[in-house]
Structure 1
């Protein structure tokens, strides 16, 4: 009986130990699970690509009358080796490093200087400095013999964001002929219009994904941030961010020749009422200038004319702000299209029947608009200058834009030349806009040529077909 009791007691102890072990294991698993960092979601937005700071190591040799002079000369050569011959050694970024041996005040040159000591002595330009070899001048040698020192220096170097090989562009100055513009009798400061155009151009060009757009409008704010670095108010490694300003390949500049929408009023001789109408438009001269040689790459004059408001005595629902916005949007769209047409012509990527996909979207094309389509041929060269004259172009038809996305456009072809239907989509290029809107008229009015099978284009979506006038024409009223 006693033996049986001992067995029962032993079995109970075993179960208790096993249970404790399982509990400990479960707690440990729970702790491990809670301490495991949460995995990043596959759908999380990527971090902004703003570059990073990495460490690079440079070996250089210098000479000098003293060992400190030789070390300082070696550091200077390391800077030139790493950053190039055109760096300004007198700038605050490099000045302290050129006297690093004097600033360290160390008698033992056969050591490695690292950490905060070398960073403080060089204003963060170096993170470590090690003397690899010292050659002293011979005691009985000729005058002028110097110390020769070989060093290994570590630089915190800023590595800019990785980006495709895109054209770098700056939206430059937009000039005006006056200080204000007139929109429907209201005066709008020219600076307001210019600011709106500039901001929209920067935004629209950035959204094309085909340019590196450099913004110079916030230079003072950026300089304030860089001053914090140069004045030593940020971590020493941030000194690597100094001297990283990117220069542009081309600059776009414009000059507004005209910009206005004018109210025209005529007093009626037989009443106190006025006959009021509105009309106007804009004109802009643009240039694309090569920064390196200041050569004008392209020059053009763009124009736009919003729909006029016909004469009426009943009053109009006119809004000066909306009209100004419409004119600015039209100008920006045509500027972007002009730049893209020259630097990155729009091509037809895919063609199925008369349905096509275009290589660009965003502000490069306008939904509902009609564009010319040409077939590209062989490139020709000027026999006198040897310069390329471009590829030959054969009319193919027209394309109506049905849908626009940020990167692509979708449309359908019309008026296609029957003899050119076998041309591959990649050889088809979209040309200038023919009309801002497209309306296909199945039953044209009687006063139009009904025998014509071609659709009718309108310059503005708001324009409509004139109504048929069945009554006899009115005689001219001398009171109007």
Structure 2
């Protein structure tokens, strides 16, 4: 093949991925369904494939702690996981890390429209140049995604991303037969390039939303002025960081659904991080009034956050 790529949708400079301040949020990509009449001849599991590629794209930004949730189908599963104490960790038993946020949604477009309805994966129009066939292939991808707070079940944002790429060139044959979804060969195709662009736009949206959300950790152990928290190097904590410690006084839940509606908190004191390991940090605690002490389970929030009432 003598390729000459022409983009029907000109390649603009990709939007930069925003910095997400504070410790890295823990994110999981949940179930992404494939909605629509997608061609099955390539034996592609489009939903699972896009889910895996989005997980990789988020992990490659180094802005999040990614956890695997390929077998979980929804927020209820994540809440049950945490409620049953399967999520978390103890010195004696390794357990799953809970995800703060889960990305779910649907693949709404994947392939190229063709006359007569339905979809075809990379359809082509052929002509002849010097005895060789010319081909024109189009890849189009659309994703409808939601960012969900796994603790409350609240949808932080729903958004749609899409991309369309057309490639023309000279070839004896074409198509996607025998190409693995998400593999190196796939990435060089119009559909692969459209997928990459759509996923990049999705990552930008996710980073933008999570950069604007508050984050929190927990006190693991407290003895006198010495405190250990469940945020460490993997979360981006460094020595010298200052954090606030808050305690939940009351949790207001919906009597019908059990969903958390609001929390009443009060500030206990301030932490100064003195040492960091992979998943924990050690800090010195200073009480707000000189008498309060930090306790296991207290919340840890950014020092710049407003005082809770």
TM-score where L is the length of structure 1: 0.27
Of structures 1 and 2, the larger Rg is shown by 1
Higher RCO by CA contacts (8 Å cutoff, separation 6 or greater): 2
TM-score where L is the length of structure 2: 0.41
Between structures 1 and 2, the one with greater helix share: 1
